[in-house]
Amino acid sequence: MDASSELGDFLKSRRAALRPEDVGITPHPTRRRVTGLRREELAMLAGVSITHYTRLEQGRTTGVSDGLLEAIARTLRLTDDETAHLLDLARPTTASSRSAPPRVAYASASARQLLAAMTDVPALVMDRRGDVLAWNQLGHALLAGHLAPESPDTPATRPNLTRMLFLDEQYRDLYANWYDQAQLAVASLRLVAGRHRDDRSLAELVGQLCMNCDEFASLWARHPVRTCTSGVKQLRHPLVGAMELSFENLVLPGTSGQRMIAYTAESGSSSEAALRLLGSLSCAQWRGRLNQATPSF
């Protein structure tokens, strides 16, 4: 991904989202040729020269301080996630990261052991791109029972949750509020893409989704940025019906951004009963197809 164009497009999108009256500027009665703030208006409000700001929108970040970037972020009323994204985009990529070959990630034996021990909790481990590295029985049954349980074990067949959300009809239908989930998925992926601009696999994922899904391309072009560590999922499972599940997204120490996601239902709720039923229904299939030792890597 081209860092200079990403930075410029991000700044332009946020500048266009601010109306002059939002920041105390009275618009001239003649028609404005730009949506939102002009460059010179933003530069004036941020206390920077128009030359410096223009260079920034052009992706020319040499000598740009964090203080200047933070002043622009405050003026644009960026969230904490958006401010972090701006700083990521403005930082140069090191030569070592540009030359490093892509690394294939695997879930550790201890992470797999923890997943297996969580018999009543759907859980999975995924990498920063959203590739599923491992899941437990209930996690597989909840999210992707139509896929082979062993599919995360081989890089070529690994499910990717973002790809599935946009291109896999069965996974897409799982979400009662699909569009909200799609917005969040794109915003989370944008944040990761800003931090890892030379991740070729991530760039290929984004390219594939932009080419094959107009909905993704439209959301991506808006430059949403947001991290999500917990929340609630409204699901409509094909086997057990509607469920409301809370989730926690935990970073695994000592990994390159691997995360464990676990889903829980409120005690005594119909969702908890649905999870128990799903666990019973999935036992026979899981044992029949995954009754083997953990693969070694």
Rounded to 5°, the CA angle 92-93-95 comes to 125
101 — pLDDT class (breaks 50, 70, 90): low
Report pLDDT for 171.
97
Where do the domains of the chain lie, and which CATH numbers do they carry? 3-92 (1.10.260.40), 109-289 (3.30.450.180)
pLDDT band at 187 (very low <50, low <70, confident <90, very high): very high
Of the pLDDT bands very low, low, confident and very high (cuts 50, 70, 90), residue 96 is very low
User: Euclidean distance between the first and final Cα of the chain, in Å?
Assistant: 30
Nearest to 64 by CA among 39, 46, 77: 46
DSSP string, 100-155: SPPPPP---HHHHHHHHH-TTS-EEEE-TT-BEEEE-HHHHHHHHTTS-TTGGGSG
The pair of structure tokens assigned to 6 is 């990403």
User: Distance between CA 205 and CA 70 in Å, rounded?
Assistant: 30
Average pLDDT over residues 6-28: 85
- Its sign, for the CA torsion 56, 62, 63, 65, is positive
Q: What is the mean pLDDT of residues 146-172?
A: 95
Q: How confident is the model at residue 275 (pLDDT cuts 50, 70, 90)?
A: very high
Q: Spell out the residues 6+ positions from residue 285 whose beta carbon is closer than 8 angstroms to its own.
A: 141, 145, 149
Report CA torsion sign: 104, 108, 112, 115: negative
